[in-house]
Amino acid sequence: MGEAIGQLLPFAVGVAVSPMPVVAMVLMLMTSQARASGVAFVLGWMLGIGVAGAILLALAGPSDASSDGAPADWVDWLKLLLGALLLLIAVKEWRARPAGDAEPPAPKWMGALESLTPVKAGLIALALGTINPKNLLLIIGGAAAVAQTGISGGDQAIAWIVFTLIASIGVAAPLVIYFAMGARASAILDGIRHWMVRNNTAVMAVLCLIVGVKLIGDAITGFSA
């Protein structure tokens, strides 16, 4: 199981540092239903990632790992495909980064966050965590990393719980700041929001580049083994 956790860490961190979900959480913490909506957002986020991983691991079934621990061929091909897609996203995000000191416009859906009920906040978190293409690629990569180790179903479940907890650090951190800092949290959260919005494309470009190169490198290593 230790090997599985080690393999999934880059993917989990990649999901955790996605800027837009963090910005959405910060905005919700500035509404009249901050406490309930914030908790619902984190729970929806964790539920979405947990369920997505469970489905992917169930579909993967036995990893067909060989007796010497080598992963199945499909894992290497999947890593190669995911790596290529992430590199394409990295190029797209880098080219879309704002010039100079200009702040890019926030997505239109963020304008509706002020009027969200806790239930809708949880549903939006579930969608952001799983349907978002960049996060979905990272979740698939993490599930493939777990499946390729050939560990038992119980160990896979524990490994995926670790993935979900790490992947939730980004959206949970503003909520922790909100509860811990009280009235002083507003200025800190607003600073986080501005930085995340301003650097969203650059962060995602670098993240996708690093994870994409790792996946392609792992695939090449697997093909030559």
Q: Where does residue 115 rank: exposed (0-12), middle (13-18), buried (19+ CB within 10 A)? A: exposed
- Note the pLDDT of residue 69: 47
Ranges of the chain with pLDDT below 50: 63, 66-70
Whole-angstrom distance, CA of residue 174 vs CA of residue 151: 35
- Note the pLDDT of residue 164: 95
Domain assignment present for 92: no
Whole-angstrom distance, CA of residue 185 vs CA of residue 179: 8
The amino acid sitting at 137 is L
Domain that holds residue 157: 2-75+113-200
pTM, two decimal places: 0.81
Q: Where does residue 12 rank: exposed (0-12), middle (13-18), buried (19+ CB within 10 A)? A: buried
Tokens of 182: 């009280």
Domain assignment present for 196: yes
Query: pLDDT tens across 108-117, in order?
Result: 666 667 677 8
- Note the pLDDT of residue 67: 46
Number of domains in the chain: 1
Domain assignment present for 100: no
Domain assignment present for 183: yes
Domain assignment present for 46: yes
- Note the pLDDT of residue 104: 65
Taking Cα atoms as reference points, which of 51, 49, 57 lies closest to residue 165?
49
The widest CA-to-CA distance across the chain, in whole angstroms, is 58
Domain assignment present for 225: no
Domain assignment present for 55: yes
Domain assignment present for 165: yes
Are residues 17 and 170 in contact, defined by beta-carbon separation less than 8 angstroms?
Answer: yes
